[in-house]
Homo-oligomer: A and B are copies of this chain.
């Protein structure tokens, strides 16, 4: 049964920091944010987890396989190497959406994202002592059919970007509202969604929704596993089957 562990990682008091005492150079903020994300990806990834950059000051991670001590060590490592600190809220649920709702509530109870006193909160419980199961995490890896041939090599880069962005926006709202899933753009024309245990019909419906909404054709590979990495790699292989066979949903 799905048992997704979701961690909300929030940079403490980041907004005020970026303009104190004066606005900091944008190039430095961009570098700071993207490297902090890369480091968090590696640290969480060593335990099999995934991190999505989301808004960069608020990142969402799938952390099945990481206990509280692992979270604390990651906070310490970031705190030792960056001028900012991270707070973590952790939620678990059969619904990824509910898990993130719980994770967010824990951080909000601890204080505002712009509270200068709130730092390195670690709130919530991990899936332990429930034993890990092969279907704890379900990931769906979507991409756009022939994105290079239809868009990248044909339209100007911004028009392609608008198309990709529209498909993503349509998909993220649909999966969230209709199926309790959390979808994230991960670069190129790729979206990875953490989802409950959905039927094939749900994926076909999601793809149809995006086609009707914004006229973009998606395909999806689905995978399950003990960790995000296991599920994600299974989803990637399923997506490769879509590519080879010209199908739209594989892995179920």
* A binding-site residues for B, Cβ under 8 Å: 8, 14-15, 19, 23-35, 37-39, 41-47, 50-51, 53-58, 60, 76-77, 79-83, 97, 100-101, 103-105, 108, 112-114, 148, 152-158, 160-162, 164-166, 169, 172-173, 176, 182, 186-189, 192, 229, 232-233, 236-237, 239-240
Contact = CB atoms under 8 A, between A and B. Distances in A.
Given A60-B157, A157-B58, A173 B169 contact: no
Given A81-B31, A83-B80, A182-B158, A25 B229 contact: yes
Contact of A161 (B54, B79, B160, B162): B54
Contact of A8 (B25, B29, B54, B157): B157
Contacts of A186: 26, 29-30
28 contacts: A8-B157, A14-B188, A19-B236, A23-B233, A23-B236, A25-B45, A26-B50, A26-B186, A26-B232, A26-B236, A27-B51, A27-B77, A28-B80, A28-B81, A30-B37, A30-B38, A30-B51, A34-B34, A38-B38, A42-B42, A81-B82, A100-B157, A101-B156, A103-B157, A108-B153, A113-B152, A113-B153, A162-B172
A108 B149 CA distance: 11
Nearest to A79: B83
A158 B176 CA distance: 9
A41 B27 contact: yes
B42 A31 contact: yes
Q: Which of A56, A82, A105, A232 has the most CB of B within 10 A?
A: A56
A10 to B, nearest CB: 8
A22 to B, nearest CB: 8
B60 A187 contact: no
A28 B172 CA distance: 24
Contact of A77 (B8, B25, B182, B240): B25
Contacts of A25: 45, 76-77, 80, 229, 233
